[in-house]
Amino acid sequence: MISAMKRVVILSVLAACAAACSTPRQAERTPVPDDINASFLAEDADVDRFAARWELESREVYAAREEILEAIGLQEGDAVADLGCGTGLYLEPFANAVGKDGKLYAVDISPKFVYHVRERAREAGLDQVEMVLSNERSAELPAQSVDTLYLCDVYHHFEYHEDMLRSIRNAVRPGGQFIVVDFERIPGVSREWLLGHVRAGKDVVRSEIEAAGFEFVEEVEIDGFEENYFLRFRRP
């Protein structure tokens, strides 16, 4: 005879196994270059070197940051996630746009970037910023926690894009927006380096995101963009 206590324990274990097994998992790694995130994850990653590469006027997404901010349309009190926040290019603009009553989740898979941006936020007194260390399959954000989730130059770095999209959909509130800024990839037009680095063009990206349960809303023309695009989706 199994005691009542043992039966409860066994049933709980079975329920936990069933829940774990029912969460779908992408079987094959997305075909991105093998080392696409290696330099960000390295223990000796030189954060200042990345900041110098990403936070400068000759980079389209930096030069156009005000226009991008306006197109996103953040409101005071909103919750926004900058997924793949890197060295914190959008830290102050996003935190100031949502204000002290809002929330900015700055998320990255690189522990060194998370540490760096946390220090930046602390020094600037931005209490509305919460740092999140994500992983290659999950944004690690609470369910339905954000009105806007923003990806800049990150989608093509996803090593398990189906799992990431599932976790992004889970994090965005119904009616909330998901914005993707990324490189155009046009054979015969885009630079050789981009063709090797970015695995998919805009149409493929759009269809993957729609297949993950988002509605396409619009493409926004950003004046300063020549090599990048801005797509807005909504979670139904």
Ligand X SMILES: C[S@@+](CC[C@H](N)C(=O)[O-])C[C@H]1O[C@@H](n2cnc3c(N)ncnc32)[C@H](O)[C@@H]1O
Q: How far is CA 140 from CA 61, 106, 157, 167, 178, in A?
A: 25, 11, 17, 8, 16
Q: What is the rounded distance in angstroms from the CA atom of residue 111 to the CA atom of residue 171?
A: 21
CA distance 224 to 118: 29
- Give the H or E element holding residue 121: helix 111-123
Work out whether 136 is an interface residue with ligand X (CB under 6 A): yes
Q: Is 171 in the site for ligand X (CB under 6 A)?
A: no
Q: Which of residues 99-128 bind ligand X (CB under 6 A)?
A: 107-110, 113
Q: How many residues bind ligand X (CB under 6 A)?
A: 22
155 near ligand X, judged by CB under 6 A: no
Angle between helices 91-98 and 65-72 (to 10 degrees): 30
40 in contact with ligand X (CB under 6 A): yes
Give the residue with the Cβ less far from ligand X, 197 or 202: 197
Binding positions for ligand X, 173-202, rule CB under 6 A: none
Residue nearest to ligand X (CB): 86
**Closer residue to ligand X (CB): 16 or 170:** 170
Is residue 161 a contact residue for ligand X (CB under 6 A)?
no
CA distance readout (Å), 76 to 79, 91, 96, 124, 140: 9, 15, 8, 18, 24
Q: Which residues bind ligand X (CB under 6 A)?
A: 37, 40, 54, 61, 83-86, 89, 107-110, 113, 134, 136, 152-154, 157-158, 164
